[in-house]
Structure 1
């Protein structure tokens, strides 16, 4: 892992403040004090507090996208690709629970900000890469016939729901303990293969 930049330090300081006192209660001055950066540096890198919020969101979701890209480069089957969508998400959330909690609660805010268009474009590219990775397998008939948006929801929906509950402290089971179960459930829900073991 490379050395942290000043921008990284500011973002991590902002995340710590958001986690401790909430996004709305966090001020630029609090982020400045936590990061050790000057007000000028904060405004230079991010423009304003909303710019910090948007950047923190974009960097976090970008990390998950990078995990997927690396995994897709090595995955050699439809099943591996589908399970990767689940396991990469779980691995990132378990490693970054505060960041994941921030992302889950900040999407509408970022969409309404000056960087909303950038977020929508990033999401479009993200899902395009996923569908591209799965396209060949879909053409081979390895998936049930369904619309693209249904496919995505079936794969990640249950994991997303359990993750929300885990992050909110509403589950008795640890998220990473459900990693393989949720990955298998995702594959079972979209695979065209008939499971004869039941």
Structure 2
């Protein structure tokens, strides 16, 4: 099975220290902007609010990101990168283990479900933002960045699952369908839970979601 080489990908920059004070500063701005957006909503947030929340001048905000919508887009993309980092780390950890191929196929599907459950549970505000504001990215300049990141992420998943499909252990389906079976049920429940409509925490059903995805994607 080929190596993921995930540390070389732009989506995994969280795994290494920031290369510069600029990157560290941008990350700080993004995290504090997220808090502001969650509290006031994107439409209700002004650039002055972001200035006060981040402790950064308006000029610096425009220099690093652009306008308010560009900052919101950066928040969305950073959240997706964080999730991608976690998911690829789980897969890389699995790849390093000596397991029977069938067990590795099962665990490959399940750890992707775990990554979804764990990231959402640990980052509820970021998850809410990602669920609600994809249009901000698709309508702005961040759309190309998100598309490239998504393509790179899917390429890593295809690289991992290809030998398992060839071995007849996983169904030969487009990677987008894999994403739907793996994350769709988790995201649907999470939206209701984060909105207060579901009382039982997402983590309580971690294994239920994982088993469901495996049942849907296992071959035979």
Q: TM-score normalised to the size of structure 1?
A: 0.90
The aligned runs of 1:38-77 (5 Å cut-off) are: 38-76=57-95, 77=104
Q: Is the 8 A contact 1:54 1:115 kept in 2?
A: yes
Question: CA offsets, 1:75-116, max 9 Å, x none?
Answer: 141111111111111111111101110011111220110121
Q: Is the 8 A contact 1:155 1:189 kept in 2?
A: no
The aligned runs of 1:38-187 (5 Å cut-off) are: 38-76=57-95, 77-187=104-214
Question: CA offsets, 1:161-195, max 9 Å, x none?
Answer: 111111111112101111121111111111125xx
Q: What is the rounded CA distance, in whole Å, between the counterparts of 2:76 and 2:181 in structure 1?
A: 24
Give the deviation of 1:145 after TM superposition. Answer: 4.3
Give the deviation of 1:147 after TM superposition. Answer: 3.8
Q: What is the rounded CA distance, in whole Å, between the counterparts of 2:119 and 2:94 in structure 1?
A: 18
Q: How many residues align?
A: 193
Give the deviation of 1:68 after TM superposition. Answer: 1.6
Look up the match of 1:20.
39
Question: CA offsets, 1:33-74, max 9 Å, x none?
Answer: 111111121111111112211111111100111112211112
Unaligned runs of 5+ residues in structure 1 are 194-198
SS at match of 1:63: helix
Q: TM-score normalised to the size of structure 2?
A: 0.82
Across the aligned residues of Structure 1 and Structure 2, the Cα RMSD in angstroms comes to 1.8
Q: What is the rounded CA distance, in whole Å, between the counterparts of 2:73 and 2:112 in structure 1?
A: 24
Look up the match of 2:51.
32
Q: What is the rounded CA distance, in whole Å, between the counterparts of 1:84 and 1:153 in structure 2?
A: 15
Q: What is the rounded CA distance, in whole Å, between the counterparts of 1:146 and 1:32 in structure 2?
A: 46
SS at match of 1:141: coil
Q: Is the 8 A contact 2:65 2:74 kept in 1?
A: yes
Question: CA offsets, 1:14-42, max 9 Å, x none?
Answer: 11111111111101100111111111211
Structure 1 runs (4+) greater than 4 angstroms displaced: 1-4
Q: What is the rounded CA distance, in whole Å, between the counterparts of 1:11 and 1:146 in structure 2?
A: 36
Q: Is the 8 A contact 2:154 2:175 kept in 1?
A: no
Q: What is the rounded CA distance, in whole Å, between the counterparts of 2:112 and 2:29 in structure 1?
A: 29
Q: What is the rounded CA distance, in whole Å, between the counterparts of 2:48 and 2:27 in structure 1?
A: 17
Q: Is the 8 A contact 1:166 1:174 kept in 2?
A: yes
